[in-house]
Amino acid sequence: MSFDSLGLSPEILKAVLEKGYDSPSPIQAKAIPAVLEGRDVMAAAQTGTGKTAAFTLPLLTMLSKGQPVQTNQVRALILTPTRELAAQVADNVATYSQHLPLRSTVVFGGVKINPQMMKLRRGVDVLVATPGRLLDLYNQNAVKFKQLEILVLDEADRMLDMGFLRDIKKILAALPKQRQNLLFSATFSDDIRKLAKGLTNNPVEVSVTPRNATAPTVEQSVVPVDKGQKSSLLTHLIKDGQWHQVLVFSKTKHGANKLTKQLCARGIEAAAIHGNKSQGARTRALAEFKAGKVQALIATDIAARGLDIDQLPQVVNFDLPNVPEDYVHRIGRTGRAGANGKAISLVCAEEFKLLSDIERLTKKLIDRQIVKGFEPTHTLPESRLKAQKPTRPKKPKPGHRDGQRSGENSRGHQH
């Protein structure tokens, strides 16, 4: 299939050609025609599937046909959970709209509001925004929605995880009722479905990965290791494997800082990216990582969410995430758009429960590989996928609560 058959405008096709894409990705092939028909769309697609272009290309085509934008007005609003994602989406919008007379800008918190107000004054066709800053701007009359035609919620699941539901509701209340809604989310939890129900009108549902499945181009493995050995092991893996670009996930900001210092002390160029860093420091670290000046970028889940780094070859989970869905998001940073990637998780015995949760969610046991010289003294129990639940639920036996059962199980497997 080629992009030509999807109904996009010639200016957009030209930009896509210049970007070097030959054919639409599956999410693009499904979502683009539906958006161009004016339908609401609910799409399940994680980062790396080409989802940004899936909504941006048809959105720009639609906007190229309408009325010019007026003072302080916005014609399409794209909401994203993080500043980094907002900046990335805005870059994409700018690239794809370069041959069209459309104006776009991005607003997010953590930087001065005045320059953003100035940019909004003439009105913009596309505004990419994080919810908090958008509300600030709206409350100060710097942005108005009378001309709003299209709303996009990107990474809606993460927006809910980050507690943006109230802000989203306030924003929705300020928008015209008559509009097109596009909702993109990596996973479709019940909360997302609830949000979608109140937001979309008879949406076309598109999905490219089965619910909570991990991308097949990602080679996953678990390296069992003692907790205290993790940073030495990571140093060894980076040096031995000659990794030039590795994204490392840390559960905490403090952990990310500590690990960054340890790696730097061992001669590895590393930088941390998390919520306590200033916007400038985050942007700089990301730019240096992309340019190959920083070898290891140590990120917390929220900071890394949606980072688009072309062809990222290697992701490491230094700690497993508390929420198993985050594992799916994390490893979605590699193996992007058909490229192969590796995701390695360094797992200590006390993370066994987290590992089991991930394996249960993805319905897959992850291969284990012991690294010579780093054999754990605290053995990681063997994991097993639990048998499918019977279709008719049995009555629970007295004294057999779920928590107890899994506790007994994990103890039973220890050597």
Applying CB under 6 A, the residues found at the interface with ligand AMP are 21, 24-25, 28, 47-53, 308, 310, 336-337
Interhelix angle 190-199/165-174, nearest 10 degrees: 10
Using the minimum distance from each CB to ligand AMP, give the nearer residue, 53 or 74.
Answer: 53
CA distance linking residue 131 with residue 223, whole number of Å: 38
3-state helix, strand, coil in the chain (%, to 5): 40, 15, 40
Cβ proximity to ligand AMP: between 17 and 370 the closer is 17
258 to 49, 262, 263, 271, 318: CA distances (angstroms):
33, 6, 9, 11, 12
Shortest distance, CB of residue 200 to ligand AMP, whole angstroms?
21
What is the closest distance, in whole angstroms, from the C-beta atom of residue 306 to ligand AMP in the complex? 7
Residue 165 vs 309, nearer CB to ligand AMP:
309
75, amino acid identity: R
* CA–CA distance, 56 with 52 (Å, rounded to integer): 6
Rounded to the nearest 10°, the torsion over CA 15, 18, 22, 24 is -20
CA distance 26 to 29: 5
- The alpha-helical segments, DSSP class H, found in 37-113 are 51-63, 83-96
Closest contact distance (angstroms) between CB of 11 and ligand AMP is 17
317: helix, strand or coil: strand
CB of 98 to ligand AMP, least distance (A): 15
The rounded distance, in Å, linking the Cα atoms of 205 and 72 is 33
Q: How far is the CB of 208 from ligand AMP (least distance, A)?
A: 10
Least separation in angstroms between CB 328 and ligand AMP: 14
Closer to ligand AMP by CB, 96 or 352: give it.
96
Sequence-distant (6+) residues with CB within 8 A of 28 are: 6, 50, 53, 54, 57
CB of residue 402 vs ligand AMP: minimum separation in angstroms? 36
Nearer to ligand AMP among residue 47 and residue 212 (C-beta): 47
Nearer to ligand AMP, 19 or 405 (CB): 19
Smaller CB distance to ligand AMP: residue 22 or 240? Answer: 22
